[in-house]
Amino acid sequence: MTLAEEISKRRTFAIISHPDAGKTTLTEKLLLYGGAIHLAGSIKSRKTQRHAVSDWMEIEKQRGISVTSSVLQFDYGGCRINILDTPGHQDFSEDTYRTLMAVDSAVMVLDAAKGVEAQTKKLFKVCRERRIPIFTFINKLDRYGKVPLDLLDEVEKVLGISAYPMNFPIGVDGKYLGVYDRQKNRVELFAEDTTHGQSERISEIFAPDDPDMIKKIGQANYDALQDDLTLLDEAGEDFDIDKINAGDLTPTFFGSAMTNFGVQNFLEEYLKLAPPPAPRLSDDGVIEPDDEKFSAFVFKIQANMNPAHRDRLAFIRICSGKFERNMQVWHAPSNKIIKLAQPQQFLAQERQIIDEAFPGDIVGLFDPGIFGIGDTIADAAHKFRFEEFPTFPPEKFARVQAKDTMKRKQFAKGIEQLTQEGAIQLFYPVGMGNESFVVGTVGTLQFEVLQYRLKSEYGVDVLLTMLPFEVARWLKFSTGEKVTPASLRGANRGMFLLDRQENPVLLVENEWALGWISENNPKLSMYSTPQEV
């Protein structure tokens, strides 16, 4: 198969949503229909049931939430599918933003009862800024929720994107019997769910005016469906693939991931409409997927996915050319030639060694400590760098130290590895060595994960003291003079730290304190992230 043919088969997407909208459940059901698993497990399952495949951390299984992006790959309908299941909780939005750098489209999951929620708006905004095509799955039709037409209207008004319903539910709120497929002009009625969503849902297909179908759903439901479809045809959006690819129109599907209602139809239609791997921007222009020279970038680093091996993996998105096991490539940050050993592909924590991969694929590489988030790797004959990853200023801070000073070495190693993953931002109090660190995060839940992972993966119990600061600023004098506590007027109004590159950082409680320091240090410039300095 040619490179172009391999590229055309790939579909790489992220699933985004507000917490508890059913994102991970939908991921699991896509795997079920794709044949990657044979029995689906609820994310909030009973002890006797299975946990969701994409949630591989023990804390995820205990809490019933996703706290890290996971990579899932399988084949279906002639396509190679790469799903990146992302954390829904806002405290882990950094991980989600980085993941969105690696995809070609996104699936937005909405709760039919709650509609468009706060975290959905934030994630949608990132997709919109990157012009990522967005496909919407309105979930939980097995429960009582908002009227379907009202949900479509909410998507358009709240998010500012036009919605085209690919299907439309048949029945009454909470007791939908099937869907009308607008593209195929047919009705699909579902049998009763007797396996609690653990097996594929049986369905029957009917012509839109089949008397047997009308008898099954009832005349009242049929008349209501005809009224809604007439309204959509007359006042709704027209289907336009160019608008979809530009991120201006979202194909919308109704269903229930929990009961497998409409999931298979969604998967098949998505694969038809979703774009193959897209070109990527670099400092040497646009890099096309069919460029024969290999290139990729690191978008995620994860330590200790396999507790038995205590290994560390760098996840790369292949952007051009053909990946081959043990190939030699140029690593941009170190400017060195490196060997890409032990390449792996995943079904969450389950993995297998591969010999080759193509643009759009996600590959895990054994990382001896050389990779960082956003690193470019490329053919030595064509050296360039992909666009930088966005960084986000921390908003919560805590002093962290090991309870047992005899475990200082394990503590320092754990903190360093979690920092390299991008799970936390690390700062050093001036003159305190490595006895304790200051950790910055976007949200407080990240501290709970930090404590859990240091204990479970490194055997270290920690003392964690929350600090009263909410604002971090990187500092620089316009005179070129080094910023120190002694040279900074008002340094005692906050906490003076150094980041990992020994850049001076000041933590303060609020914007008012920041304003005072700015007024009293006229030659001082302050930046929200180190990239701005």
Domains identified in the chain and CATH numbers:
6-70+84-94+104-273 (3.40.50.300), 280-378 (2.40.30.10), 396-532 (3.30.70.3280)
Q: Which are the contacts of 325, defined by CB distance < 8 A and separation ≥ 6? A: 340, 341, 343, 353, 354, 355, 356
**DSSP 8-state secondary structure symbol assigned to residue 35:** T
Cα–Cα dist 403/190, whole Å: 57
The whole-number pLDDT of residue 54 equals: 43
The whole-number pLDDT of residue 78 equals: 92
The whole-number pLDDT of residue 390 equals: 72
CA distance from start to end of the chain: 47
Sign, CA dihedral 238-241-242-247, equals positive
**Contact (Cβ atoms closer than 8 angstroms) between residue 101 and residue 216:** no
**Contact (Cβ atoms closer than 8 angstroms) between residue 528 and residue 393:** yes
The whole-number pLDDT of residue 312 equals: 79
Cα–Cα dist 119/391, whole Å: 18
Sign, CA dihedral 177-183-186-190, equals negative
From first to last of its 533 residues, the chain has per-residue pLDDT tens of 899 999 999 999 998 888 888 888 898 888 888 776 655 443 333 333 444 444 434 434 444 433 344 678 888 999 999 988 766 445 445 677 788 889 999 999 999 999 999 888 888 888 888 889 999 999 999 888 999 999 999 999 999 999 999 999 998 877 899 999 999 999 999 887 666 666 677 889 999 999 999 999 999 999 999 999 999 999 899 999 999 999 999 999 999 998 888 898 899 999 999 999 999 999 999 999 999 999 999 998 887 665 555 677 889 999 999 999 999 999 999 999 999 988 888 764 467 888 999 999 999 898 888 898 899 999 999 999 999 887 778 889 999 999 998 998 999 888 888 888 777 889 998 866 556 799 998 778 778 888 888 898 889 999 999 999 999 999 999 998 999 999 999 888 899 999 988 999 999 998 899 999 999 999 999 998 887 77
Torsion angle, alpha carbons of 94, 151, 167, 248, to 10: -50
Please give the single-letter amino acid code of residue 233: D
